[in-house]
Amino acid sequence: MFQRNADGSPALKQIEINTISASFGGLASRTPAVHRHVLNVLNKTKDAARILSNNPSQGLALGIAKAWELYGSDRALVLLVAQEKERNVFDQRAIENELLARNIHVIRRRFEDVAEKGSLDQDRKLFLDGQEIAVVYFRDGYMPSQYNQQNWEARLLMERSCAVKCPDIATQLAGTKKVQQELSRVGVLEMLLPDQPEAVARLRATFAGQYSLDLGEEGDQALAEALAAPSRFVLKPQREGGGNNLYGEEMVQALRQLKDSEERASYILMEKIEPEPFGNCLLRPGCPVRVVPCISELGIFGVYVRQGKTLVMNKHVGHLLRTKANEHADGGVVAGVAVLDNPFPV
C-alpha cells in the first residue's frame, strides 16, 4: 500500500507475504481486457491503451510446469488440493488451462480423497487413484479449520512424498505474520543479506512497524502503546484467507482479554498503514454504482522454484490490485467487500 507520510509524500509499505494458495492470478489476467473494453466503449481509446498488460496465470503455470519438468516423469500429474465447496474455482481453472496447454494434466482432489486413496511406494513416490503425482498445488490447508485428524494425516503423506510441494510446510510457515515480524528486527536482514547495506536499506524502508506481543517487557510495552492509541495499530493473528485482523474497539477488547495470557504471543501488532483515499466506482452485486472514497492494495505475484539448495527460478510474473471502499476496515474480494482492479499509470 502507499503510506501517506506526515509531509504528504507517498511511500510503498509491505502488508504481508502469502506463500500458500495465492488467489486471483487467473481472474487478474482477465481484468485488463474488461477495463480496456469499458474505456473503449466510452471512446477513451488513449486511456484504454494505458491499461497495463497482466497475465499472472501464465506465470504461475510456468512455475508449476518447471517443477513438473524437474520431477522428470511425462506420465505424472499435478494434484490441485481443493476445498469441498470452492467458490473461486474459475480463478484456479485459468492456471489449470495454462498447464493443459503445455500437455500437463491436473486433477482436483480434497484432503479427504488423499487420505482415503493416496499412497507412497518404496521410493516415496506419491500415487492417487493409481496415478503418479509430480506436483502438489495447495489451494486448501491455510486455516486451522480446514484440518481434522484425517486431513493432517493426508498433509503428512504428501509432505513425506518426493512430489514437489507448492508450498511445502516450511515455506508455508515462512509466510506467517510472526516470521514477518521477526524479519523486521534490527540485524536480521543484515544477517540474511551480508555486505549488502543498500539492499537492506531498500527492504527495510518498505516495512511498517511490527511489534512482538510475547510475554515480557517488550510485549508489555507494545500492548500499552496499542491500548493508548488504538487507531495507530492493527492486531494480526497467524491466519490467512482474509477477515482475521482486528481494529479499533475490537482490537482493544481482544488485547484486554489477552493481557495476561500466553495466547497473546500468537498475535503480532502492526502499525496501521494510512493510504491516501481516492474516488472510484465499485461494481458489486446489490450496490448502486457511485463514486466513493477508496483505497487499494497492490500484490505482486512471484514464482520461486528450488531443487534442494539450488535456486532454479525466482521471478515476478504479474500483479493484482484490490480496491475497497474506505469505510471498510478489513476487505476481501470473496467476502464481497473489495473488487479486482487495474493500476492506471499516470
Q: Give per-residue pLDDT as tens, 140-182.
A: 999 999 999 999 999 999 999 999 999 999 999 999 999 999 9
151's CB contacts (< 8 A; 6+ apart) are: 111, 112, 115, 141
Is 326 annotated to bind a ligand? Reply is: no
Is 238 annotated to bind a ligand? Reply is: yes
Confidence label for 343 from pLDDT (cuts 50, 70 and 90): very high
89-110 pLDDT tens trace: 999 999 999 999 999 999 999 9
Is 18 annotated to bind a ligand? Reply is: yes
Q: Which of 174, 195, 109, 138 is nearest to 20 (CA)?
A: 138
Per-residue model confidence (pLDDT) at position 327: 84
CB 177 within 8 A of CB 275: no
Is 44 annotated to bind a ligand? Reply is: no
Percent of the chain with pLDDT over 70: 100
Is 87 annotated to bind a ligand? Reply is: no
Is 85 annotated to bind a ligand? Reply is: no
Q: Which of 150, 155, 192 is nearest to 172 (CA)?
A: 155
Confidence label for 61 from pLDDT (cuts 50, 70 and 90): very high
Cα angle at 204 between 173 and 293, to 5 degrees?
Answer: 85
Per-residue model confidence (pLDDT) at position 82: 97
Position 284 pLDDT exceeds 90: no
Is 196 annotated to bind a ligand? Reply is: no
Is 259 annotated to bind a ligand? Reply is: no
Per-residue model confidence (pLDDT) at position 332: 77
Is 177 annotated to bind a ligand? Reply is: yes
Per-residue model confidence (pLDDT) at position 33: 97
Strands (E), the chain: 2-4, 10-12, 77-81, 106-109, 118-120, 126-128, 131-138, 164-166, 210-212, 233-237, 267-271, 278-281, 291-307, 310-325, 339-341
Is 236 annotated to bind a ligand? Reply is: yes
Per-residue model confidence (pLDDT) at position 253: 96
Q: Which of 245, 302, 289 is nearest to 270 (CA)?
A: 245
Give the residue-averaged pLDDT of 244-267.
93
* 130 residue type, one letter: G
Is 245 annotated to bind a ligand? Reply is: yes
Per-residue model confidence (pLDDT) at position 219: 95
Instruction: Quote the pTM value.
Output: 0.93
Position 287 pLDDT exceeds 80: yes
Give the residue-averaged pLDDT of 232-257.
91
Is 263 annotated to bind a ligand? Reply is: no
Is 83 annotated to bind a ligand? Reply is: no
Domains in the chain (CATH in brackets) are: 170-276 (3.30.1490.50)
CB 151 within 8 A of CB 111: yes
Per-residue model confidence (pLDDT) at position 244: 85
Is 324 annotated to bind a ligand? Reply is: yes
Q: Which contiguous run of DSSP H or E holds residue 346?
A: none
- The grid coordinates listed for 48 are 484504454
180: β partners: none
Is 239 annotated to bind a ligand? Reply is: yes
* 337 residue type, one letter: V
Is 284 annotated to bind a ligand? Reply is: no
Is 165 annotated to bind a ligand? Reply is: no
Position 47 pLDDT exceeds 80: yes
